[in-house]
Every structure is written in C-alpha cells, then in structure tokens.
Amino acid sequence: MKYKNTSQSKLATLVSTSHQRQLLSMMLSGFFLIGGAYILLKPKSPPEKVINLTPEDKMLIHKYRGIHGGALYISVVGEDKNRVTMLNQNGVVWYSASSLGEGGDRHSTFTDAMYIPRTLHVTWRTEDAEARENSYGLPDISHGFEGGTILGDYTVQVASRIPDEVFDFIRKNGSSLLRLKIRLADHAVLVGWDVEEWYNAIGGRTFRYVMPGGDFKEPKIKYGKVVERGWMITPDGKKVEMDWTD
C-alpha cells in the first residue's frame, strides 16, 4: 500500500519572528500593503466554483468563508515519537517526521483553510521503520513510514471540533488567525486550537492567544516562569492542570 503525498512545503512556511507573523496575519486576512495602501488578495479559483463538491465540502467552505489560512503547531509530551506519519481523511500524508520530542515543537503556516484535516490518522513506530519510497523508488520521509513496530496508532476528528465562534471572531478581527495545535502524548493524539490575536501595545504591535479549546492548552510563560497553568484532557475525560514548558 502506498500513501498519497502532498508537499507540505508548498502549504506551510516557517515563521520565526513577530514581524513575519504580523505580515502573515495581514496576508491571510486577504490584504497586503503596497505603496502605503492595503489591497485585497483574491484567490484565483474560489472553492465554491469547484465542481463535484460533496455536502461536507460545501459545509466546510461555508464554515471557512473569509478564512484564508492559519498557523500550525505540532508538539510532543512524554516519550519521543519516532517515524511519525499523519494521514488526512483522503489517505494523503498531511505531515511526517523522523523524530519528534519535547522541546522540539514545529511551527509553520498554511494558506488555505481547507488544508485543515477532517480527520487525522496518526502513527509512530520503532526506529527500525523505514521511509516509504517516492515515485523514483527512493526512500522519502515526506511519504511517511512503514515497517518496524507500531507504538502509537490513533485517529482523531479535527475540523468538525473547531467551533464556528472561533471563525466568527477571526472574520471580525482581520488581523487575527487560527492556530491549529496537534500534540502527540503517550496515551493519545490531542487536538487543540486558539486564535493568534494581534493588537496595539506599548512599544508596538504584538499578539496574544485567545479562545483556546480542544484537548489541551499550553501554560502561559513570562520571563521563564509559569504565570498561567496549562491543561490537558485525560483519557477518562478529566481536565488536569499541567505546567508544560515546551
């Protein structure tokens, strides 16, 4: 069985500074500054004009109206997770990594809200697992992994869990963007989200995370100290406060 693959590098660009993230928020809102004026960036092919849309496609297009992308945050808590493969609802490799561990969080962005998976099937394996071959017959990490022993195997709902209120907030606050968060724990794959809201503060523009939801929330860290505890939903449905620092 071969996994389908899509190049995440075309959909996700690493963003490392506040200035870049502020620029991104404007671009994802559909506006860009040229010659002192903001212009609207319009997609070449509106999704509503694509043929053969399923009822779920139409529902998501309506849900994401006016949302042009967001930020992606992938992290790990507990043991390192090796040979990680994430497949979306179509069996396409949505994300893959040779190894993920605490403190090695991955931050990237996507420019199409339809990139948000409806479901994610996530596996991680022992280190003897091998990368699947690409069309040239060469091992390619971006095609996921096979073999070895599966240590974690979970399928989670994603798109349907994000409340409409989150997208309503982003539409009303043009300089804000969705942050989708996936965390691999020893007992589960956790899905979370919040909104990166940009605002004017003393010293210039900055951002904060608001409207958190899902299975976990990171603690708020200031000057290296936890000023607001994070939380995680355990397998038995309990909400437990935690002081993750990654």
Q: What is the pLDDT of residues 122-132, one digit of tens each?
A: 999 999 999 99
In the predicted model, what is the mean pLDDT of residues 184-195? 95
Name which of 48-52, 74-78, 228-232 the model is least confident about. Answer: 48-52
Q: State how far the alpha carbon of 23 is from the alpha carbons of 15, 16, 31, 206, in Å.
A: 10, 12, 10, 12
* pLDDT higher than 90, residue 104: no
Is 167 within 8 Å of 67 (Cβ atoms)? Answer: yes
* pLDDT higher than 80, residue 39: no
Strand-pair partners of 200: 205
Displacement of CA 132 from its chain's centroid (Å) = 23
In the predicted model, what is the mean pLDDT of residues 17-28? 52
| Three-class DSSP category at 11 | helix
In the predicted model, what is the mean pLDDT of residues 156-181? 95
Higher pLDDT residue, 86 or 51? 86
* pLDDT higher than 70, residue 150: yes
C-alpha–C-alpha distance, residues 159 and 169, integer Å: 16
Please give the share of the chain, as a percent, with pLDDT higher than 90: 59
C-alpha–C-alpha distance, residues 244 and 80, integer Å: 15
**Confidence category of residue 215, pLDDT binned at 50, 70, 90:** very high
Name which of 51-55, 78-82, 141-145, 151-155 the model is least confident about. Answer: 51-55
Residue 10's H or E segment, with its range, is helix 8-11
Please give the share of the chain, as a percent, with pLDDT higher than 70: 78
* pLDDT higher than 70, residue 33: no
Is 31 within 8 Å of 23 (Cβ atoms)? Answer: no
pTM for the whole structure? 0.78
DSSP assignment letter at 218: P
Least Cα distance to 73 among 146, 29, 147, 21 occurs for 21
**Confidence category of residue 102, pLDDT binned at 50, 70, 90:** confident
- Beta-sheet strands, E only, within 126-238: 130-131, 145-146, 150-157, 176-184, 189-201, 204-214, 216-217, 220-222, 225-228, 230-233
Instruction: Write down the mean pLDDT value for the chain.
Output: 83
C-alpha–C-alpha distance, residues 196 and 84, integer Å: 27
* pLDDT higher than 50, residue 55: yes
Amino acid 103: pLDDT: 79
C-alpha–C-alpha distance, residues 68 and 190, integer Å: 24
